[in-house]
Amino acid sequence: MNYLYALLDAECRLAVAALGLDPEMGVLHMDTINRDSLACDLMEAIRPDVDAYVLDRILKQPLKRNWFFEERNGNCRLMADLASQLAETISTWARLVAPLAEWTVKEIASTTKIRRATPATRLTQNHKRETRGGDPFVTSNNSVSLQNVCNDCGTPIINANEKCRVCSVEESKRRLKAVATEGRVVSRSANAQVKRSTTQIANQVEIREWSPSDQPSWLTAEFYAENIQPQISSLSCSSITTRLAVSRGYAGEIRQGRVPHPRHWMALAKLIGL
């Protein structure tokens, strides 16, 4: 962040000097030896943009160890690789400073008793733009675009994903393993065993209470195999689960060809429109 502030300070000095002001004569900052107080005044308005850029960069791009060098006294220095990347943002800070510096000149000029022409806009060229009928200089789209990189390995990514293809596969494996482990623990809990026992008891009761005489005479095993089973694969598991009041896994097995208990045949026949 200090390196970016140094770049911003340099652009503020250049902008103030280009417009004919003395960088050392500040308004908000007290005049001090070896400090350009007016440049520091301009910096205060741009600091939030620098801070936002640094925060966005940290969130999107992991920092690399070889970007920094720690001296014996504990000071941390930037290596050339990172410094060159940050230096590429200097044009953005220049565009943000330009209209602010010209506004400062205009406000200072308005306080003088001597009437002069409107201060020149050497940085934004707004006077020329207005004369030619062009749009004024804007800074709304001057945010620094960051290259999207993998959060784990730092590999550049073209799309908006957080991880590259290799790291995404490894992350998926890790999550799948964690979910499988959690699922096994839950399935073996006392609560899960009680639910399975209750379901099995209810199924046995339904089987005992069901009578083949309740089934229509035409709904035979042959009719089911020839007319119903071939069309079940077109049904969704959720529709079978809802209609038969069975588990989703059992519904999937029925779609794949498993023959359910005959008490379910009529419901399946209605489900396919027979």
Alpha carbon 22 to its chain's center: 44
- Sorting pLDDT into bands at 50, 70 and 90, what band is 146? low
pLDDT score, position 29 = 79
Higher model confidence: residue 130 or residue 147? 130
HSE, CB side, 13 Å, CA atoms: give it for residue 58: 7
Residue 14 scores a pLDDT above 80: yes
**Domain chopping of the chain, boundaries:** 2-146, 214-271
The three-class DSSP label of residue 63 is coil
* Topology of the domain comprising 2-146: Four Helix Bundle (Hemerythrin (Met), subunit A) (1.20.120)
pTM (2 d.p.): 0.48
Identity at 1, one-letter amino acid code? M
Confidence at residue 137, expressed as pLDDT on a 0 to 100 scale: 59
- Percentage of residues in the chain with pLDDT exceeding 70? 89
Residue 106 banded pLDDT, cuts 50, 70, 90: confident
- Residue 138 vs residues 10, 41, 80, 122, 143: alpha-carbon distances, Å: 21, 21, 32, 15, 12
Reported as a single tens digit per residue, the pLDDT across 125-135 is 776 776 676 66
Please give the angle made by the CA atoms of 198, 200 and 205, to the nearest 5 degrees.
95
Report the pLDDT value the prediction gives residue 139, as an integer from 0 to 100. 55
Q: Of the ranges 36-40, 124-128, 189-193, 244-248, which one carries the lowest mean pLDDT score?
A: 124-128
Residue 198 pLDDT: 87
Q: Say which residue the tokens 């990189």 belong to.
A: 149
Task: Return the pLDDT at 117.
Answer: 63
Length of the chain: 274
User: Which of 53-62, 149-158, 216-225, 253-262 is predicted with the least confidence, judged by mean pLDDT?
Assistant: 149-158
DSSP string, 121-136: -TTT-HHHHHHTT-PP
Mean pLDDT along residues 10-16: 88
Q: What does the pLDDT average to over 97-102?
A: 86
Tokens of 26: 């500040």
Q: Which residue has the tokens 């009928």?
A: 133
The per-residue pLDDT for 142 is 46
Pick from 93, 130, 119: nearest CA to 6 = 93
Could you tell me which residue, 37 or 152, shows the higher pLDDT?
A: 37
Arithmetic mean of pLDDT, 65-85: 85
